[in-house]
Amino acid sequence: MSAISDRLEAQVVRLARMQASQGGSSQLRYDREFGALFGLLHSRIGYLIGQYGLSDMRDDAEQVCAIAIHRALASYDPRKAQFTTHVTWLIRGELQSLRHRVRLDQRKSARTAGIRTLSLEALTMPDGDGASPAAPFEIVDERAEKVMQSSIANVMARRSLARLMRCIGAPDFEQDIVWESLSEARQQRDGKSARGLSAEQRRQIVRRTYRNCAKLVAV
C-alpha cells in the first residue's frame, strides 16, 4: 500500500477503537480524528467533485462526501477491500446522487422523462450525526404479495396434478389435453384437433381425468 493508504488505514483503526459518545470530550476527540481523516481524503474528494461537475456547489458536495465517509466507517470490512477503495465508491455514489437531485439525471432517457434519481441507501443508513432514520425504508408493491401467493399456488397445484395423473395411469396424450385446457396461452381451436378429437371429446377427457384424480385423493 502507498503511504497515504497506510495513513488512512491507521486513522480508520483509530476511529473504530474510539467509543464516540453524545457530546463531551469523547465526542470532540472523535470529531477531531474524523476531521483528520477528511483531511487525508481532501485531495481525492476535490478531484471527484470536479469529475462530477459540482465545483460550483463545493460546500454541498463536501457535506455529502462527509456523509459518505461516515457510512464507509460504519460498513467497512478490511477483509474485503482497502478503505480507500471502499470510501471512494461511497463518495462517488453520494456525488452522483447529489448531481441527479440538483440537475436531474444526465442520462438521455432520464432527461427526456425528467427523472430524478434518489439514493435508497441514504434513506436507510444513519446520517452524519449517527442518528438512525425515523422509520425503515421499504419499497412497497401492494400487488406483489398477491401475485407471489398466486404463482406459488399455481406451481404447487400443477405439480400435484402431474403426480396424480401419473398415479392414475393417464395416457400422455390425455395429459397433454388436460394441460392444454389449463394453459391461458392456448389457442382456441374449432372442430377436430390434431388427434381427430372434437372439443366435446376433449372436455370429456378432462372431466374424466379430474374425476379419477379426485377419487385417488379421497382414498
Contact assessment for residue 14 and residue 50, using Cβ atoms and an 8 Å cutoff: no
- Unique residue bearing C-alpha cell 463545493: 58
| Confidence at residue 187, expressed as pLDDT on a 0 to 100 scale | 46
| Confidence at residue 40, expressed as pLDDT on a 0 to 100 scale | 87
Contact assessment for residue 13 and residue 73, using Cβ atoms and an 8 Å cutoff: no
| Confidence at residue 109, expressed as pLDDT on a 0 to 100 scale | 63
Closest CA to 62 of 48, 51, 76, 75: 48
| Confidence at residue 66, expressed as pLDDT on a 0 to 100 scale | 92
Other beta carbons less than 10 A from residue 148's beta carbon = 11
What's the DSSP call for residue 55?
G
| Confidence at residue 136, expressed as pLDDT on a 0 to 100 scale | 56
| Confidence at residue 195, expressed as pLDDT on a 0 to 100 scale | 60
| Confidence at residue 106, expressed as pLDDT on a 0 to 100 scale | 59
Contact assessment for residue 68 and residue 41, using Cβ atoms and an 8 Å cutoff: no
How far apart CA 68 and CA 75 sit, in angstroms, is 10
Contact assessment for residue 18 and residue 33, using Cβ atoms and an 8 Å cutoff: yes
Domain boundaries, the chain: 3-124, 144-218
- Per run of 10 residues, the mean pLDDT along the chain (length 219 residues) is 77 75 65 87 90 87 91 86 88 87 65 58 53 57 79 88 90 88 55 64 88 84
Q: Which three cell numbers stand for residue 102?
A: 440538483
Contact assessment for residue 119 and residue 112, using Cβ atoms and an 8 Å cutoff: no
pTM flag (> 0.85): no
Contact assessment for residue 52 and residue 91, using Cβ atoms and an 8 Å cutoff: no
